[in-house]
C-alpha cells in the first residue's frame, strides 16, 4: 500500500461524548490495515464517553489539559505529554481548565486478534 495524505478538514466530525473526534487513519479510510489514529478536541468541561480497546492506546496532548480517567484513576495530562492506556482498561478524557483541549490518539483494535493469528 502506498502512503496517503489525510486532511482533517476532509473528514467527518464524530461525537465522542461531548468531545469531537476525527478518525484520521483506520482500516475504513483505507490507509491502514490495522492501526487507527484520531484527532480529539474539546472545550472546558467536555467529557468523552467511557470506552476501552482490546489493544494499547497512546494519547498525546497537543494543547490544553485533560483529566484522563483510567479504571477510576485520575491522570492529568497537559500539552507536550503522552499517556499509555492498557488494553481493556475503561477510560475517558475530561477537559479541565479554560483552554480548548486537542490531542491525538493512536490505537489498534485489531492487533490482539492479529497477534493470535500469527504462527
Task: Give the CATH number for residue 83.
Answer: 2.60.120.10
Q: Provide the whole-model pTM.
A: 0.87
Query: pLDDT tens digit string along 70-99?
Result: 999 999 999 999 999 999 999 999 999 999
Please indicate, yes or no, if residue 7 is contained in any of the structural domains. no
The per-residue pLDDT for range 52-61, each reduced to its tens digit, is 998 899 999 9
Using only the alpha carbons of the chain, give its radius of gyration: 15
Evaluate whether residue 76 is within a structural domain. Answer: yes
The dihedral over CA atoms of 64, 71, 49, 26, expressed in degrees to the nearest 10, equals 80
Q: Enumerate the β-bridge partners of residue 102.
A: 41, 63
**In total, how many domains does the chain have?**
1
Q: Do β-strands 57-63 and 82-85 pair in parallel, antiparallel, or remain unpaired?
A: antiparallel
Domain extent, residue 52, equals: 12-117
Percentage of the residues of the chain whose pLDDT score is greater than 90? 66
Amino acid at each position: 500500500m502506498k502512503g496517503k495524505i489525510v486532511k482533517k478538514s476532509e473528514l467527518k466530525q464524530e461525537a465522542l461524548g461531548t468531545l469531537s473526534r476525527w478518525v484520521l487513519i483506520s482500516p475504513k479510510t483505507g490507509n491502514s490495515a490495522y492501526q487507527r489514529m484520531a484527532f480529539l478536541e474539546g472545550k472546558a468541561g467536555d467529557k468523552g464517553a467511557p470506552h476501552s480497546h482490546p489493544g494499547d492506546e497512546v494519547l498525546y496532548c497537543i494543547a490544553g489539559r485533560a483529566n484522563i480517567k483510567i479504571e477510576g484513576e485520575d491522570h492529568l495530562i497537559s500539552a507536550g505529554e503522552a499517556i499509555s492506556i492498557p488494553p481493556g482498561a475503561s477510560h475517558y478524557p475530561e477537559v479541565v481548565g479554560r483552554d480548548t483541549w486537542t490531542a491525538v490518539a493512536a490505537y489498534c483494535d485489531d492487533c490482539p486478534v492479529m497477534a493470535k493469528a500469527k504462527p
